A and B are shown apart, each in its own frame.
Chain A
Amino acid sequence: MKKVTFLTLGLFMGSCFLYGQGLDEVLQQYFKTIGQEKLVTIQTMTMKGKSVQMGMETPFTTIIKRPGNFRLEVDIQGQTMIQAFDGEKGWMIAPWTGTTDAQEIPADQTRFMKWQADMDGFLYNYKERGLTTELIGKEDLEGTQVFKIQQTSQEGDIFTYYLDAENFVILKSEIITKMMGSEIRQEGYNSNFREVEGMIFPFSIENKTQGQIANQVVVDTILFNQEVNDSIFIMPIKKLPETHD
């Protein structure tokens, strides 16, 4: 209760707010809100939903398994595209590219899967991750007061979070990174936060690339600790037989 009081007063006395000391306070409140304590105990997370782009809906499934495995399946015209990451190597199968064999994904793009495979989020244990993290301050995000937190990786990637100053969930996250030497900016606007097994997740995410709307992700279900075989993350060596659900 003491901590909450301190924080609350801090919110109303912006000019007195000591940002240098405030980061961990803000993060603790954030972790408490989203149920980080529970999240770190989760072994696998399976998310199903749809991506809406230019009016077209594409069903997807993502599977994350500790430590650092990621798989995305997307259905397009009855075919399944797979992108996966086994902690080291990223690969994909896109049947309409001329082959049903798995193809390795360049490291530049694999990073995105590596980041998504991190179930805990970069704010958790940021010091151990080697991310320079600072609370930039409190500002207005489209009419909502937010805490702006910025992280810089050793490679120069910049992750920025806009944390709702009232509800302590991330309303917007932004990644500025380089791909093939060119800077790209990706933003995600989160909403429809819901509780699942004591944790809070956004069920609607609007993604923008270079400032333009790329797609909207609508999450239908999130399941935890499903049985997931490690093999689904490993790049198949031979041609895969066609699979149908």
Chain B
Amino acid sequence: MIDDSFKTLHMRNKIIKVRFFLLFALCSLLLSDPGRTHGQPAVTVDRNTFGGLEARHIGPAAMSGRISCLDAVNRDFRIIYVGSASGGIWKSINAGTTFKPVFDEYCQSIGAITIDQQRPDTVWAGTGETWVRNSVSVGDGIYRTTDGGKKWEKKGLENSERIARIIIHPANPDVIYVAVMGHLWNSNPDRGVYKTADGGTTWEKILFVDDNTGCSDLAMDPDNPEVLIAGMWDYRRAPYFFRSGGQGSGLYRSVNGGKDWTKIEKDLPGGTLGRISLAFSPASHRILWALIEAERSGLYRSVDKGESWELLNDDPVMGERPFYFSLIIPDPADSNRIYKPGFGLTVSNDGGKRFSSPMIQGGNVHGDFHPMWINPEDPNFVYMGTDGGLYISQDKANTWRFVRNLPLSQFYHVTVDQRIPYNIYGGLQDNGSWIGPSQSPGGITNSDWTNIGFGDGFNVLVDPTDDQILYWQYQGGNIKRFYRDTREVKDIKPYPSEGSEDLRYNWNTPLVIGPSSHALYVGSQYLYRSADQGDSWERISPDLTTNDPDKLQQERTGGLTIDNSSAENHCTIYTISESPLDKDLIWVGTDDGNVQVTQNGGTSWENVSGNIDGLPAGTWCSSIVAGHFDKNVIYATFDGHRTGDMHPYVFRSTDRGKSWQSIADGNLTGHCHVIREDPVDADLLFLGTECGLFISIDRGVTWTRFTGNMPPVPVMDMVIHPTQNDLVIATHGRGIIILDDLTPIRNLDPQVLQTDVAFLDSRPYVTRELGSEQSWTGDDEFTGPNPPEAAMITYYLQKRHVFGEMYLEVYNQQGEKIKTLPGTKRKGINRVAMDLRMPPPRVPSSVQLLGQAFAGPLYPPGDYKVVMVKGDKTYEGKFTILYDPDSRHTPADREIRQETIMKAYQLLEEMAFIDRRMLSLRDQALQKSSSLAKNTSLKKELTAFAQKLDDLRTGFLATRQGSITGERRLREKVSDIYGDAMAYQGRPTESQITRLESLSLEINDFDQRLDQITGNELVNLNKLLTKKQLGDIKPLTLEEFQKEK
């Protein structure tokens, strides 16, 4: 196809291109599938279809999220790379004042980061967090950047899942050793210690124990890179247990760069070992510490590079949750000082014999400590990562400053309310429950968010009858009713009835409000319903799970270190959906693979999971969603990752669960967390997986990952705002992300895709004043952007526009063209912000700018037509502007406001005309004067005439140079009223209105004074000029002035 506008090109180019295209056609024919030569192939959705649609990250960074690893440049502590549990890699070049994400195109779960300290722009990143809690994400290999994080290249180890340590050979940057922990939930052989000698092109597995044992830590002798010590860890998670330790665990040593290894057992604890952490002292290279999980975990020290060992400390703090805190961090200058992260941070100053908290004067920091970096040039200076973000200490971990700009928040769930602007509610991993606004004056800052609950937060619900009442929960089914005004909390969790067994609540217990019944539901192994805000509960089901005794191991979970936190509670209800069309039709999905349905409000239940072909039995049902349009329709996602099955399972039934169809396609990646059916367009589906957001516009036939400012971060939950039409996304790692206004996507159907150009409706733009705030809190706080304060014009282009004209014209209801916009030209959806303001008024010209007059008045509400001119074709669309229906301002007040603004606008324009007339007359006089000889009377008269005009102007507008001259003349006074009236949406004050009247009279008066000068005086001057054949001085006409516009 040759673009029409291509015809406008130079003939020479045209000939070349036509030949080019002929060749293109020929080659295409030769390469194409013979079966597809009939007509053009249908255009399908791909990642470019959504074009310019970009998601809005609103954080928050108030509580940040888990930092899994970090590294900084030894010679320049200001340069930091922070690896997060599931929010990617963030870089700072100013010691944490500002951060930017540098890994948004890749896997967001980070296990290890190592800077090549000799070439600090080279950084290695191993993906897959190694703090293997129940909610941990997964990695997909190792990456390297050589330009400080601008570009990353995958360097293999794709099946490693988690990487615990990366060590660069001090003499050869192409030699890298990697501790690969391997798969958490299943056996696999891709684990152990790996080495590359060619910068990652090829890898050799140099230490392998068995398919269940990975390398949890690796240390290299600072004096001899041939000496390596490896901690091997036999571990496994399942949906219902965690095991740390096994026969594969052990400590290994190599003295020849990993060619041969010796298992070290002498002096170490007998019996089964668990996770091991290692560290050489940078201050005294002979000292090597090992934190070893065992029946009695302890800190061991070797002073002969790992050959023999001494137990220093086996206090319980040494054995705190090794799967989460197995780390030992020596001070770079003091060989007796060692830090031990854990639930709290402790430090030893005697080489590891005794530990205590370093926080004497401080300590207001989030618990659960993970990586630390201590400045080798100043050990007072420490970066520390926790479950609640990054902190900086300048006094050896005594007091801490929180880093307020890492929006790594890990939400589990999200809901919204009906306020305008609406609020967002959700709970987070180890960071409680929060409320925040969808927009706020100046952007959404940390201080806009309010904490309402503690622990690990999950669902936060707004009571449908009273939005002062909220429900929140913490892990294991602890449910609270919360009164917003008093912050009073009432525990409303259902307890077992007399004689009943204990209730099993999932870590992430489902808590929902029925869209039809408005009842509150909570699931243990039973389904409970409350019609009185949780004061009483009705059990409306039998045990809906498999109740498999083999899977009820939570009291024994943990392996060597028992860890029964409710994280492994199993055989529980995980997801609940009441049909929006029938309150008695309720669906339940369980973590052990059941899908149960009742059609009579709970009187009887049917298990339909056996009807799902293609789903392995027992696969965790991660979400179940009753259809909005047809009560026979149900969507469900299943998540097998806790058994090592990362396959995306997405199903739909259209017959109430009797039969199910898989609606997953090959474009999906990551195990599935949640599906949402659009409540307006039945064809539009949204799917959240471990690897991001996927959209289908054809009911699940094809899926496309949405990439518009949307990293491949785990999407745990989503809600579609019922009136604002935003998709509000709970990510586990990057906070709340909003895709504003789904209306255009709803209008993007497969037919539209085939058209060259199509306008797509957007929601009406409602003019609201958010107001402003004076806030100068520095550059170190994250601020989430507001949606644009503009009407959006949205259109689809099948192909990028390159050649010839393309622009947008906007017409008002009267058919007058009010604006021309350049538009954007990319392939797919283009979203152009239509500024709602008329052109600003012209004002008298001055060395002082008039700030108020930079903006024009708002266009009135109504429907506007948009015409796209593209080559020789035109296309039509529309958009609508509305006043806020909830505004305090009456239409009559708005009318007076508009009249006042327009009057001031006209006065400024009139003044601009007066000023242009004065300047024109003056300049003509001076120009004619310059051609005359000195001391002629005409020259004097002309100069005097010009001076008179200049003098007149000084009373008209500010003419003095300088930044704060304080001059207020007519121009400035009118502009003040213009600005005042513009700044408020309602009726101006009487004082403003009468002031404008009096200024108007002053302008008239001034105009008359100018007329006097340009009357007889100018006539006389022109007579003299005519005599000298110098031509008349001509006053600027209104027509000429308008033409200038």
Contact = CB atoms under 8 A, between A and B. Distances in A.
A170 to B, nearest CB: 10
Nearest to A1: B19
Nearest to B798: A143
A206 B961 contact: no
Contacts of A218: 807, 822
A100 B27 contact: no
Contacts of A189: 824-826
Interface in B769-823: 790, 799-807, 821-822
A122 B19 CA distance: 28
A12 B31 contact: yes
A98 B961 contact: yes
Interface residues of A, number: 47
Nearest to B922: A244
Q: Is the interface of A mostly helix, strand, loop or mixed?
A: mixed
A192 B805 contact: yes
A5 B8 contact: no
Residue with the highest number of chain A CB atoms closer than 10 Å, among B824, B845, B850: B845
B806 A192 contact: yes
Interface in B822-876: 822, 824-828, 833-837, 839-840, 842-850, 853-855
Given A5-B23, A98-B961, A204 B802 contact: no
Given A55-B790, A98-B963, A204 B822 contact: yes
Contacts of A167: 17, 802-803
Interface in A74-108: 76-79, 95-100
A237 interface: no
Contacts of A76: 849
Contact of A195 (B9, B821, B854): B9
B320 interface: no
A223 interface: no
A56 interface: yes
A143 B27 contact: no
Given A12-B31, A76-B849, A142 B803 contact: no
A221 to B, nearest CB: 14
B806 A191 contact: yes
A73 B17 CA distance: 37
Contact of A192 (B801, B848, B854): B801
A194 interface: yes
Interface in A190-219: 191-195, 198, 200, 203-204, 206, 216, 218
Contacts of B833: 55
Contacts of B824: 189, 206
Nearest to B827: A143
B27 A12 contact: yes
A52 interface: yes
B835 A54 contact: yes
Contacts of B837: 55
B845 A78 contact: yes
Contacts of B847: 79, 95-96, 100
B961 A99 contact: yes
Interface string A151-183: 000000000000010110101000000000000
Contact of A96 (B23, B836, B843, B848): B848
Contact of A52 (B20, B804, B821, B963): B821
A218 B790 CA distance: 20
A223 to B, nearest CB: 18
Contacts of B806: 191-192, 204
A191 B13 contact: no
Q: Is the interface of B mostly helix, strand, loop or mixed?
A: loop
Given A54-B835, A79-B846, A79-B847, A9 B27 contact: yes
A57 interface: yes
B826 A193 contact: no
B800 A142 contact: yes
Contacts of B1010: none
B51 interface: yes
B825 A100 contact: no
B835 A55 contact: yes
Given A4-B16, A98-B963, A194-B804, A57 B839 contact: yes
A77 B27 contact: no
Nearest to A205: B822
A33 interface: yes
B650 to A, nearest CB: 26
Contacts of B19: 1, 4
B966 interface: no
Contacts of B923: 244
A129 interface: no
A215 to B, nearest CB: 10
B582 interface: no
Contact of A56 (B20, B825, B854): B854
Interface string B513-552: 0000000000000000000000000000000000000000
B240 to A, nearest CB: 44
A52 B9 CA distance: 27
Contacts of B598: none
Contacts of B801: 191-192
Contacts of A195: 8-10
Nearest to B850: A77
A78 B23 contact: no
Interface in B587-642: none
Contacts of A52: 821-822
Contact of A171 (B46, B800, B915): B800
A4 B15 CA distance: 11
A96 B960 CA distance: 10
B24 interface: yes
B848 A8 contact: no
A193 B19 CA distance: 20
Query: Closest 7 A-B residue pairs measured CB to CB?
Result: A55-B835, A78-B845, A143-B48, A143-B827, A191-B825, A95-B847, A8-B23
25 contacts: A4-B16, A4-B23, A8-B20, A8-B24, A54-B835, A55-B790, A76-B849, A77-B843, A78-B912, A79-B845, A96-B848, A142-B48, A142-B826, A143-B46, A143-B800, A164-B802, A167-B803, A169-B802, A192-B803, A192-B825, A193-B802, A195-B10, A206-B822, A218-B822, A244-B845
Given A142-B826, A192-B806, 12 more contacts: A4-B20, A4-B23, A9-B23, A78-B842, A78-B915, A96-B849, A98-B962, A144-B800, A191-B806, A204-B807, A244-B919, A244-B920
Interface of A: 1, 4-5, 8-9, 12, 32-33, 35, 52, 54-57, 76-79, 95-100, 140, 142-144, 164, 166-167, 169, 171, 189, 191-195, 198, 200, 203-204, 206, 216, 218, 244
